[in-house]
Chains A and B, each alone.
Chain A
């Protein structure tokens, strides 16, 4: 694979997302801890990025021409690990070592250990500033092609640094940064609207000088259209693009959907077996 943009094939992206959900459930059950809710809510978005939108070469994780992905909501590491394994950055067997001593797959992303992880994250609110810095480095190097995609959680938007970075990106006209919000409406203590209401997220980004779009985060056709066109849109309007994706926490596993308690709790083996059956996963030895 070269660092050329991939052909957008919605069916292939859907299939990738499904395999990633199977991986997420399997690795979390094996690990015995971790964050299924926000990994599953982001699965279709991340599948659209790694399966179609982003130019990347799993054989050359350091290819300077690559698009970059920053998982600012680092607790959703399983969705990133699943995408990296499914697209060939490393063997899928590694997924079963998640969170274990000596594993290259840490509980939260560690760029010093895992091929394809651009930056260590886990302490919320820091990814967008890093993405901006990556975008500036590309600008200095006159690399106009690569785009930096940064995924944030909705609860994470309560961190002030996100808005410092939002201000910075529009001030510096960073049209090579795309912010994607996994707007699943929930955070650890419950509904975002009750814990600390975020209001109209797209309007907030717009107020900070961004071009804001909204999208169904589980509609692959819509994701491919909006995410796939985000960079071009940024160039046209001359400001960074934020895509606020409506999602369902725990999407794809009925007993996890819309339940904040599944933010940071791994399924038992029995629960995982039920989840895998519901997802239509191939037989997986647990």
Chain B
């Protein structure tokens, strides 16, 4: 469990494995199969791969039709186009008809890097989370990504699986067990709960090390399933620590922080801070530079914890 790999690396290969195992999977792409890695699926199963060209609405609609015809339809493109460009298709055709469409786009978040704000999707969790029946999974590393893709394939109904472009630390073992509505406590602690998703889980673990040096004991939870949330695990942790910091590579509006705040606000109000992008578009830069620029590093999480504990 070391090194760095992009979550998208799991995508195409896992779909190939699942099909080899007998799953009735098809893929609809929108001219980005090399970047999303579904080109690997296209090479293995060309009769099950369909390129819509640069036409994301049609990509989602075609996937819906395939799902209506009994297929498990994976579809993607980059997160910004797969969600925003085709939102009505996802809402009115996929979700309203409760179809087995698995939207698993790559290139979510600011770690897209130099392509800049137009391509750095920071609102997708919010957009997908609000749709009735849509389940939202945000894997923290390549192994969780493979598990998330398998979970989405095996579970009926629409899914959104958020994948990234940049190599991120591998923190889970291969074959990690995941579930819909299931978070994982990666590190136990008593003073604060840090709930993170995606690339921010690795940052949260690093933040816990920084805080330990200050004598602050942080519990780190990999939320993984943003919708549904693992209410039991999160409430138990909040009850124990009495303070919660969320961390996401996404807008603080509508994403993990909002989901956790909704849960705690209704069931266990505790002092809280949200680490994320603050109502802003992204900008060009290298992923590491951007993580610092937008305040998404381990040091930023640790600082949020210190402020929270100091204020309460």
Contacts and interface: CB of A to CB of B under 8 A. Distances in A.
Interface of A: 110-112, 118-123, 125-126, 128-138, 140-141, 160-161, 164-165, 167-168, 171-172
Contacts of A135: 65
Contact of A130 (B55, B61, B91): B61
Interface of A, secondary structure class, is helix
10 contacts: A112-B97, A119-B65, A129-B61, A129-B62, A129-B89, A130-B65, A133-B63, A133-B69, A136-B50, A168-B62
Residue from B26, B47, B52, B73 having most chain A Cβ neighbours under 10 A: B52
A129 B64 contact: yes
A137 B68 contact: yes
Contact of B62 (A119, A120, A133): A133
B48 interface: yes
Contact of A133 (B48, B53, B66, B92): B66
Contacts of B93: 119-121, 123, 126, 130
A132 B62 CA distance: 6
A131 B69 CA distance: 10
Contacts of B28: 133
B70 interface: yes
Nearest to B101: A133
A137 B58 contact: no
Interface of B, secondary structure class, is helix
B48 A126 contact: no
Contacts of A165: 58, 61-62
B88 interface: yes
Interface in B67-117: 67-71, 73, 88-89, 91-93, 96-98
Interface of B: 26, 28, 47-48, 50, 52-53, 55, 57-58, 60-71, 73, 88-89, 91-93, 96-98
Given A112-B97, A165-B61, A168-B62, A130 B68 contact: yes
B26 A126 contact: no
Nearest to B86: A161
B61 A120 contact: no
Contacts of B69: 133-134, 136-138, 141
A117 to B, nearest CB: 9
Nearest to A166: B58
A137 B89 contact: no
Contacts of B61: 126, 128-130, 132-133, 161, 165
Residue from B26, B65, B69, B98 having most chain A Cβ neighbours under 10 A: B65
A137 B71 contact: yes
Contacts of A140: 26, 47-48, 71
A73 to B, nearest CB: 14
Contacts of B47: 140
Given A119-B68, A134-B69, A168-B52, A126 B92 contact: yes
B103 to A, nearest CB: 14
Nearest to B48: A140
A130 B96 contact: no
Contacts of A130: 61-62, 64-65, 68, 93
A161 B66 contact: no
A11 to B, nearest CB: 34
B97 A164 contact: no
A120 B91 CA distance: 11
Contacts of B63: 133
Contacts of B65: 119, 129-137
Nearest to A112: B98
Contact of B97 (A111, A128, A160, A167): A111
Given A119-B68, A126-B92, A168-B62, 7 more contacts: A110-B97, A111-B97, A129-B57, A133-B65, A133-B69, A136-B69, A168-B58
Contact of A136 (B66, B91, B92, B96): B66
Contact of B58 (A110, A121, A123, A161): A161
Contacts of B66: 133-134, 136-137
A110 B92 CA distance: 10
